[in-house]
Copies of this chain bind each other. A is one copy, B any other.
Amino acid sequence: MNLAIGDLSRRTGVKIPTIRYYEQIGLLPSPVRTEGQQRRYGSDEVRRLNFIRHARELGFEVDAIRQLLGLADDPNRCCGEAHEITKAHLDEVKDKIARLTALRDELETMVACDNRRVSECRIIEVLADHGQCLHETH
């Protein structure tokens, strides 16, 4: 395998400028180059970039991915650290779900508004009043 950056991009679904960005911030190692300075990648890089992409899809931050990659590179280390990172991330995700669910319910109520004039529109009303309410109770 001797892939140009465009091939790597197609294989992993990661856009070309993003691949170069990952190299720049040290998530991907600098690949070998042709005489004309074009990047050439092998299967190691495909695997590593897939790892990164999946972790990003799962919402891990670049810093967390850097740590996970460090662990993955050293097969003798205990996975306790990976466990911790993942656990922390899981807690955040649960929290986010809870907040989004509350938000969804609020939006459902607002959407119940149907084609009245703005002056009697629940949506505008909720947005305008709620701020006041929050202010008064805080």
A contacts, CB < 8 Å to B? 11-13, 47, 49-51, 53-55, 58-59, 68, 71-72, 74-80, 82-83, 86-87, 89-90, 93-94, 96-97, 100-101, 103-104, 106-108, 110-111, 113-119, 121, 123-124, 126-128, 130-132, 134-135, 138
Contact yes or no, B79 A124, CB < 8 A: yes
Question: What chain B residues lie within 8 Å of A13 (beta carbons)?
Answer: 134-135, 138
Question: What chain B residues lie within 8 Å of A79 (beta carbons)?
Answer: 113, 115-118, 121, 123-124
Partner of A86, one of B59, B94, B101, B111: B111
Contact yes or no, B118 A76, CB < 8 A: yes
